[in-house]
Amino acid sequence: MSPDMSPDAALDERTTAPPRAALPPFQPPLADLGPAFFSDIALHPLPQPHWVGISQAAAQWAGLPEGWADAPEALEVFTGNRAHAGSVPRASVYSGHQFGVWAGQLGDGRACLLGEWLRPTDEQRIEVQLKGSGPTPYSRMGDGRAVLRSSIREFLCSEAMHALGIPTTRALCVTGSPAPVRREEIETAAVVTRLSPSFLRFGHLEHFSANGQTDELRKLADHVIDRFYPEARSPQAGVDEADKAHPPPTNAYAALLRLVSLRTADLLAQWQAVGFCHGVMNTDNMSLLGLTIDYGPFQFMDGFDPAHICNHSDHQGRYAFARQPQIAYWNLYALGQALLPLIDSQEAAVAALSVYEQAFPKALQARMRAKLGLTKAADGDRALMDDAMRLLAAHRIDHTLFWRRLASAVEGDTEPVRDLMPDRAAFDAWFERHLAALAGQDLLATAAQMRRVNPKYVLRNHLGEQAIAAARQGDMSEVARLLQVLQHPFDEQPEHAALADLPPAWAADIAISCSS
Ligand code: AMP
Ligand code: MG
């Protein structure tokens, strides 16, 4: 208000000025669970916060009002510097198996649940969590912080995965601060705001089971069922009675295990089909909702290699690309073990989780069939798929470019995909079989369909590195541009075609470890 304004004029100004978008108030997170499941924590402000990236798509998904990021408090709230209305900051406790070994208690060591929003359109609860917001009772020896590079990677990849149609936690924004954070070298701090209907992991249930806290175990399982798997309350519903190998679940908890196994099978099929390597598939990084969660040393493969290890710290290759589906199954066993006190028998638990054995290959074959443009299943499909992957593996052919260019080949433009192939004769022989399998289909429509499942743009490591390098110099425009392109991964976007090119030679030397 300017000093010479009368009170009436000031009132007029207030009513005619564009409305300031306020952030909706939070409701306390995990409120129906109680203190055995989390600790109330303090905020740990960071100095001089600034915006690094904002996803308006995530904001829209969460039902935030337009202009939310301009709300005067937004930057402070999403850096963890200021408590927002209704916020009760909490860190949850979980345990887990890390690299195949029981690791005991872990918990949100650098994550803080600010609260929940009720999405206006459908009343879906959305949890709002900061990552890198400072120490919690579960930080163990850690500083509770995250660095700029890993925060940008998580932000971009969460939103890229969502745009690819792959279940994932979302990322609303990243903020940065000049505060130093020590890793291999001194870096600067950043905070990612993550959104998800739930951040609960296999490790949450493992925690209470391993501690013999059966009442808490049941309470948590009931919470998951009531919120996310209400169909588990009718355990026999929707189960194929003719499937003698998998007798119907005997109770709601066996049904929960079965449903989580089915979602996990579908998730893994999607990862494998797009060439995504998670890198740290510990049970504490496995979502009970079947979402991709905890982006660390992940990678979208460039040259296809089934043995590819994207995590520099994974010396044994436990989480190599081709092992991911088997590791997910191992993790489901750990979840089944955790749920045993609530399930009548070991046999019932094994029957519930072993649906994965059929569901995963079935889901993967459906995805691969779509990638190949095949509209219906036929006898030779499997061999055609396997041989395509063998062709790629033999010469580390670029995974994303191969599938995208295959769509053009189906339309008659075979040279671009042949250009990727050192052994053209082998490709030509395979492609003849592919065309034979497509016989009778409209090839133009098929190619268009293939482009809707084979992305042109994925978050290759070198693209992330370039955006990070610019951000470190204070230029956030590359983060914004990359986000925008990755939000439409199936569109041609010719003006950004360079982002779909083969990686430069230096990309092979990028080493991403667990350190973040
Ligand atoms: P991650 O490998 O990132 O999934 O983390 C494994 C566990 O270590 C989780 O309990 C994290 O919260 C915790 N953690 C990772 N980094 C830090 C850190 N810098 N400070 C405190 N806890 C951390
Ligand atoms: Mg984790």
Q: Atom 7, ligand 1: which residue's CA is nearest?
A: 106
pLDDT at 99 over 50: yes
Q: What's residue 20's pLDDT?
A: 56
pLDDT at 8 over 90: no
Q: What's residue 375's pLDDT?
A: 97
Q: Atom 13, ligand 1: which residue's CA is nearest?
A: 109
Q: What is 399-447 written as a DSSP string? A: HHHHHHHHHHHHTT--HHHHHT-S-HHHHHHHHHHHHHHTTTS-HHHHH
Q: What is the mean pLDDT of residues 299-311?
A: 97
Ligand 1 nearest-atom number relative to CA 106: 10
Encode pLDDT of 12-58 as tens digits: 444 555 455 689 999 999 999 999 999 999 999 999 999 999 999 99
Distance, in Å, from the CA atom of 352 to the CA atom of 332, rounded to the nearest integer, reads 10
Distance, in Å, from the CA atom of 149 to the CA atom of 190, rounded to the nearest integer, reads 8
With a 6 A CB cut-off, is 370 part of the ligand 1 pocket? no
Q: How far is the CA of 504 from the centre of ligand 2 (A)?
A: 30
Residues in contact with 252: Cβ distance below 8 Å, sequence separation at least 6, in sequence order? 221, 225, 232, 233, 235
User: What percentage of the chain's residues is helix, strand, coil (to nearest 5)?
Assistant: 45, 15, 40
Q: What is the mean pLDDT of residues 250-278?
A: 97
Q: Ligand 1: which of 110, 145, 207 to mutate, judged by most atoms within 8 Å of the beta carbon?
A: 110
Q: How far is the CA of 285 from the centre of ligand 2 (A)?
A: 5
Q: How far is the CA of 146 from the centre of ligand 1 (A)?
A: 9
Q: What's residue 21's pLDDT?
A: 67
Ligand 1 nearest-atom number relative to CA 284: 4
Q: What's residue 472's pLDDT?
A: 98
Q: How far is the CA of 516 from the centre of ligand 2 (A)?
A: 11
Distance, in Å, from the CA atom of 382 to the CA atom of 372, rounded to the nearest integer, reads 11
Split at pLDDT 50, 70, 90, the class of 172 is very high
Q: Ligand 1: which of 139, 145, 182, 194 to mutate, judged by most atoms within 8 Å of the beta carbon?
A: 139
Q: What's residue 247's pLDDT?
A: 85
Q: What is the mean pLDDT of residues 370-386?
A: 96
With a 6 A CB cut-off, is 461 part of the ligand 1 pocket? no
pLDDT at 483 over 60: yes
pLDDT at 2 over 70: no
pLDDT at 196 over 50: yes
Split at pLDDT 50, 70, 90, the class of 243 is confident
pLDDT at 478 over 70: yes
Chain-centroid distance, C-alpha 118: 21
Distance, in Å, from the CA atom of 128 to the CA atom of 426, rounded to the nearest integer, reads 51
- Residue % of the chain over a pLDDT of 70: 96
With a 6 A CB cut-off, is 144 part of the ligand 1 pocket? yes
Ligand 1 nearest-atom number relative to CA 136: 21
Residue with tokens 């541009």: 481
Ligand 1 nearest-atom number relative to CA 146: 19
Q: What's residue 29's pLDDT?
A: 97
Split at pLDDT 50, 70, 90, the class of 349 is very high
- Which residues are known catalytic residues? 284
Q: What do you get for the CA distance between the two ends of the chain, in Å?
A: 46
Q: What's residue 249's pLDDT?
A: 92
Encode pLDDT of 439-467 as tens digits: 999 999 999 999 999 999 999 999 999 99
Of 255, 448, 439, residue with least CA distance to 342: 255
With a 6 A CB cut-off, is 174 part of the ligand 1 pocket? no
With a 6 A CB cut-off, is 127 part of the ligand 1 pocket? no
Chain-centroid distance, C-alpha 493: 24
Distance, in Å, from the CA atom of 97 to the CA atom of 136, rounded to the nearest integer, reads 21
Q: How far is the CA of 118 from the centre of ligand 1 (A)?
A: 28
Ligand 1 nearest-atom number relative to CA 514: 2
Q: What is the mean pLDDT of residues 431-435?
A: 98
Ligand 1 nearest-atom number relative to CA 282: 4
pLDDT at 5 over 60: no
Of 124, 89, 123, residue with least CA distance to 108: 89
- Residue % of the chain over a pLDDT of 90: 91
With a 6 A CB cut-off, is 142 part of the ligand 1 pocket? yes
With a 6 A CB cut-off, is 108 part of the ligand 1 pocket? yes
pLDDT at 411 over 50: yes
pLDDT at 223 over 80: yes
Name the DSSP class of 303.
B
With a 6 A CB cut-off, is 285 part of the ligand 1 pocket? yes
Q: What's residue 13's pLDDT?
A: 45
Q: Atom 2, ligand 1: which residue's CA is nearest?
A: 514
Range of weakest confidence among 13-27, 104-118, 346-360: 13-27
Encode pLDDT of 118-157 as tens digits: 999 999 999 999 999 999 999 999 999 999 999 999 999 9
Split at pLDDT 50, 70, 90, the class of 244 is confident
**Ligand with an atom nearest the CA of residue 293:** 2
Of 512, 506, 408, 499, residue with least CA distance to 160: 499
275: alpha, beta or left, given left = phi > 0 and alpha = psi -120 to 50? Answer: left
Encode pLDDT of 66-86 as tens digits: 999 999 899 999 999 999 999
Q: How far is the CA of 111 from the centre of ligand 1 (A)?
A: 9
Give, in order, the Cα–Cα distances in Å from 140 to each of 101, 105, 130, 144, 157: 18, 10, 18, 9, 27
Distance, in Å, from the CA atom of 302 to the CA atom of 139, rounded to the nearest integer, reads 35
Q: How far is the CA of 160 from the centre of ligand 2 (A)?
A: 19
Distance, in Å, from the CA atom of 370 to the CA atom of 174, rounded to the nearest integer, reads 35
Q: What's residue 183's pLDDT?
A: 97
Q: How far is the CA of 325 from the centre of ligand 1 (A)?
A: 24
pLDDT at 1 over 60: no
Distance, in Å, from the CA atom of 196 to the CA atom of 200, rounded to the nearest integer, reads 10
With a 6 A CB cut-off, is 137 part of the ligand 1 pocket? no
